[in-house]
Amino acid sequence: MKTLTATDVVLSEGEQTIETKRRNAIKGAFFSEYIDMFDIYLPVVVLSPVLAFFQPPHLSGGMETILASLVFITTLLGRPIGALLFGMVADRIGRRKASIWSVSGFGVVTLLIALLPGYESVGIVSYWALVLLRFVDGIFLGGGYTGAMPLAIEYSKKEQRGFVGGFIIAGFPAAYVSINLIAMLMFWFFPLSGMHSPYAQWGWRIPFVLGAVLAGALAMYYVHKVAESEIWKSETAEKADQPEKLPLTDLLRGKSGRNLLQVLVMMTGFWLTQNIITIFLPTGLLVKTLHLNGFQMTSTLMITYFVLFFSYIGSGMLAQVIGRRRFFAIVGPLIATVGAALLYVLANVDGLSLGAIIALVCVLAVLVTSPWGVIVTYINERFVTDVRATGFGVGFSLSVIIPSFYAFYMDWLSAFMPLRLTSVVLLCLGGLIGAVGALMGPETKDVDF
């Protein structure tokens, strides 16, 4: 039997320390995505029924729609700004500090939203305060994953990056299911019946307070449990004697600039397909076209997002085997053909049973959103350590802007075809753009950091 030497013991302890750091960084990134998405969906799920609490009475239907959309859009516009700012912080000062600062920021802002007075108390100031806070919240939310995800991927073993990336992004469907369950509990305990009912006055505030508490807990987790990236520290030490440059300067030129352009093209396509599923499908298709009631729609989406939690992880693991570039190149055309056909059936075939609708939506969502189980890992692998966080943040968030106006594109296309076909055409276009963007870049699964 072999006798352990002092050197063996030291090595064993060192390996255990690295393994602990790795697990903590990965868990931190998962919960960062979870809480990020939790806060993103708060106004969509929790505030939508009571937005009148912040608005003047007797608004026209069109004005109500515009004011409601601003609450969501301003958050979306803040995310690229936060991704850029905190990406530079993460590349210059550290991934861990960027995560702590951004998470603390959106925790405070979410709590401030929970304390907002209504229109009856302070007038229109109430609504504009909500919009401003959601914009600032978007900046901090955009920074939340910009530090956390590169930190986790840099700690991951090369052969496990696919699983890690899929696991991290699975925080999104987990958050969606959680917030809907919480919203249903709020509606159950605090009935909504007018702007003076318990839910309208203070019931909606409880999920926001919960979101702030979760953010505070995550910040403390990073303070006490998560170590700074060893790869980033090593790279920083090697270049300590060189003149400091802004990460954005290096990102926009040379090889990194070409990599960013390729990522932006690919992500524009996959954001377009993602928006068709996560934004258009629930209301534009399930409610307006298929006429599902609230319970039927919620049940369909809850089952779908439960399935997506596992399919994201599966996509990440599959791409680890066959290659990320090959995965995108295969899935993009499948989205444009099989995905478009499934969406066409849902939008145009009458008489589908609820069971058939749920099955079709699940298959469609798994196929169309499968690239997202690979995207976190892939984008991080496309950039060198000096600009990885900035490249990931900008590539991930800036690309969402053009696809966000999908409703306008559908309206323009409706001049040439039936409105029910426009979402199918956009889904097909997005899948092809995503595949072309991926083919513009190299395979990354064997990249060394």
Is 120 found in the same domain as 53? yes
**Residues for the chain: how many in total?**
449
H or E stretch covering 96: helix 95-114
- What confidence score (pLDDT) does residue 411 get? 87
Cβ–Cβ contacts within 10 Å for residue 30, how many?
Answer: 20
Q: What mean pLDDT is predicted for residues 117-127?
A: 90
Is 324 found in the same domain as 390? yes
Q: In whole angstroms, give the CA distance from residue 157 to residue 178.
A: 30
Cβ–Cβ contacts within 10 Å for residue 155, how many?
Answer: 25
3 pLDDT more than 80 = no
Q: What mean pLDDT is predicted for residues 407-435?
A: 93
341 pLDDT more than 60 = yes
Pair of tokens at residue 138: 């978007």
Is 289 found in the same domain as 200? no
- What confidence score (pLDDT) does residue 175 get? 94
Asked if residue 394 lies in contact with residue 80, where contact means CB atoms within 8 angstroms, the answer is: yes
- Of 234, 260, 276, the position where a domain reaches its end is 234
- What confidence score (pLDDT) does residue 406 get? 87
14 pLDDT more than 70 = no
- What confidence score (pLDDT) does residue 61 get? 66
249 pLDDT more than 90 = no
- Assess if residue 287 is contained within a domain: yes
- Least confident range from 46-50, 297-301, 302-306, 415-419: namely 46-50
Structural domain containing residue 261? 247-449
Is 269 found in the same domain as 128? no
Is 271 found in the same domain as 202? no
Percent of the chain residues past pLDDT 90, beyond the cut: 61
2 pLDDT more than 60 = no
The CATH number covering residue 182 comes to 1.20.1250.20
Q: What are the tens digits of pLDDT across the range 149-199?
A: 999 999 999 999 999 999 999 999 999 999 989 988 888 888 888 788 888
Asked if residue 215 lies in contact with residue 110, where contact means CB atoms within 8 angstroms, the answer is: yes
Percent of the chain residues past pLDDT 70, beyond the cut: 94
- What confidence score (pLDDT) does residue 21 get? 92
* SS3 call for 63: helix
Asked if residue 218 lies in contact with residue 148, where contact means CB atoms within 8 angstroms, the answer is: no
- Assess if residue 132 is contained within a domain: yes
Q: What is the CA radius of gyration of the chain?
A: 23
Work out the pLDDT band at 144, boundaries 50, 70, 90: confident
219 pLDDT more than 50 = yes
What DSSP line would sit under 261-316, residue for residue? HHHHHHHHHHHHHHHIIIIIIIIIIIITTT---HHHHHHHHHHHHHHHHHHHHHHH
- Assess if residue 409 is contained within a domain: yes
CA 395 to chain centre: 13
Q: Scan for tokens 């790279």, then name that residue.
A: 235
Asked if residue 170 lies in contact with residue 26, where contact means CB atoms within 8 angstroms, the answer is: no
Asked if residue 356 lies in contact with residue 422, where contact means CB atoms within 8 angstroms, the answer is: no
7 pLDDT more than 80 = no
Q: 208-240 burial, b if ≥16 CB within 10 A, otherwise e?
A: bebbbebbbebbebbeeebbbbebbeebbeeee
Is 255 found in the same domain as 195? no
Is 382 found in the same domain as 309? yes
- What confidence score (pLDDT) does residue 246 get? 63
Is 155 found in the same domain as 200? yes
- Assess if residue 73 is contained within a domain: yes
Q: Structurally, how many domains does the chain consist of?
A: 2
- What confidence score (pLDDT) does residue 9 get? 37
Q: What are the tens digits of pLDDT across the range 97-106?
A: 999 999 999 9
339 pLDDT more than 80 = yes
- Assess if residue 206 is contained within a domain: yes
Pair of tokens at residue 129: 């305060």
Q: What are the tens digits of pLDDT across the range 268-316?
A: 999 999 999 988 888 788 888 888 887 898 899 999 999 999 999 999 9
242 pLDDT more than 70 = no
Asked if residue 53 lies in contact with residue 370, where contact means CB atoms within 8 angstroms, the answer is: no
Nearest to 170 by CA among 50, 308, 319, 298: 308
Q: In whole angstroms, give the CA distance from residue 436 to residue 115.
A: 47
CA 349 to chain centre: 31
Is 212 found in the same domain as 278? no
- What confidence score (pLDDT) does residue 11 get? 37
- Assess if residue 210 is contained within a domain: yes
Work out the pLDDT band at 77, boundaries 50, 70, 90: confident
* SS3 call for 241: coil
73 pLDDT more than 50 = yes
Measure the CA dihedral 336/342/343/348, to 10°.
Answer: 130
Q: 403-425 burial, b if ≥16 CB within 10 A, otherwise e?
A: bbebeebbeebeeeeeebbbbbb
- Assess if residue 4 is contained within a domain: no
Nearest to 106 by CA among 77, 85, 75, 127: 75
- What confidence score (pLDDT) does residue 271 get? 95
Nearest to 90 by CA among 34, 32, 167, 132: 32
Is 297 found in the same domain as 264? yes
Is 316 found in the same domain as 173? no
- What confidence score (pLDDT) does residue 100 get? 94
- Assess if residue 1 is contained within a domain: no
Is 286 found in the same domain as 143? no
